[in-house]
Every structure is written in C-alpha cells, then in structure tokens.
Amino acid sequence: MSVAFADNLPTPPSPSKETSQKTSSPHPLLPLNDGKFHLLLAASGSVASIKIPLIVEKLYRIYEPSRISIQIVVTSSAERFLPAADKPLPAAIKVWRDSDEWKHWSDRSDPIVHIELRRWAHLLLVAPLSANTLAKIAGGLCDNLLTSIVRAWNPAVPILLAPAMNTYMYTNPVTKRHFRIIAEEMEWIEVLKPVEKVLACGDIGMGGMREWSDIVEIVAARFKPNSFPRKNEMPAVDSSGLTHEKVRHQPVTADLTGHIRFEDELEAESSASESGMFKESHTAG
C-alpha cells in the first residue's frame, strides 16, 4: 500500500507557530528513529499473558538489545496474570497501562499515548488476544489503550493477533464472524491460528494460544535480525531531538510505506486539493 505524489505539486507552506502549538508533541519515551526494530507487544485478558516474559527473553536472544526495542501494552485483565509468570519482565521495558493514556496529558500539545505508540511501532503483536478484545477490534470499539491503538492504526504497518480462549468461545459462531470481518476488511491484520491443547480451565480442544516460541520465530522471519540496527541513513531530526515518522528507518524485509505525522497528512491533503484546483482551472481555460 503506497501513496504517490506528483513531482510538480506546489510546496505546501510550513505550519505556522500557532498551528504547531495546537498539535501534539512526540513522546520522550518513544524515539522514532534509533535504528532498532520497534516491537509493540500487547496482552489482553488470558492466562497466556504469563508467557509475555518468555517472549521478551527469546526476542532479546535472537535480536540482542542493540537491535530491538520492545514496548508492552497490557489491558487491566492481562495485568492480573503477569504476577503469575515464571519470571519477571526486564526492568528496562516500559509497560503501558490504560492509566498512562491521560497520566501526563493536560494540554493539547502534550503527547497522545495511543497515537505515539502507533507511530513508534514497526509491528504490533497481540499475544494473547482474548475473545473480548477480538470482539472489540472487529466491532471497532476503543475503550482502552490497546483497542485505541488498534483503531488508530496505520494500515501500512502489520498487526499479528494470537488468539487464546476457551474452546467453546473459539468455536462460537460470533467468534467466526469476528475473524471473518478482520480477514475481509482489515488486510493489515494477520491471525495466528490457535492450537488444540489442554487449556488452563481443564477443557481440551482448540483455542490455546499458539506456542510462544513459534510466535517469536514468525516475528523473526518477517523482520530479519541482521537488518538491524540500521546505521546507513542519517535521519533528519527536529528541534526536540526526535525524527518524524515520514523519514524514519523502515525494515528492509517489510513492505511498509513509512509513517507520517498528522500535520504532514494535512499538508499532503492540501497539496492534492491545490493540484486538483489547478487542473480544473487549466482545463477550463
């Protein structure tokens, strides 16, 4: 998916100081261009959330910390399971919760967390994906940090979903409908089929989250570890020391078009509008 711009379009004016003050600033914890693979790892309400530390540990073994940056998003339900994990998360990894969305926001120029996390990520991996969060994604609901990120997602960037739910939840006709909506209308989202196993509740059947090590291997196959860090390009840096989405590095193995900040989208729309007006005027003359 890409957007082509004609070479002869007029150059849009730079945002005025007044306009700049009305747009949100980048988040200081989310540098857009550090040359690393940016993985946004999310968990929703399933006991499989206890696998998050194992996923992180294996990703660090494959990529090494110099090649990957991981941010974690948890729903309030997923957070309940984390203390039951076999090992803690590395202290250096930021875990984003619903409360972080508004914790430091008081003015329109303050960072909007769900937007900045979207801008930062090269990939969103939701593992585990609960039946409830699946329903929210399929229905477009965005009542927490995770679902707000998904709803505001850039379709040029991939999302991987790893469902984890009770067998009868998984085989429910409503669940089938939700997967169909995602498959037909959200082409940037890929669902990693669950497996048949003895579930935590004791039932036996389909619905268990795909083996966590297999999920990591899928990520590593899509985003080759030897592609990072990207040191051959010198990014343009703004006054805050951060690089805007439209000029940040992209993984060489991923079909991504690059990210743009909202003010750049407005400029592009303005350019297209002015071009259309020019063509109409030229034709009429």
Distance CA 164, CA 195 (A): 9
Catalytic choice (4, 201, 221, 284): 201
Distance CA 281, CA 285 (A): 6
Phi, psi of 172 (to 5 degrees): -60, 140
The residues, ordered by sequence, that sit 6+ positions from 81 with a Cβ below 8 Å of its Cβ are: 43, 45, 46, 47, 49, 50
142 has catalytic annotation: no
Where in the sequence numbering do the catalytic residues fall? 201
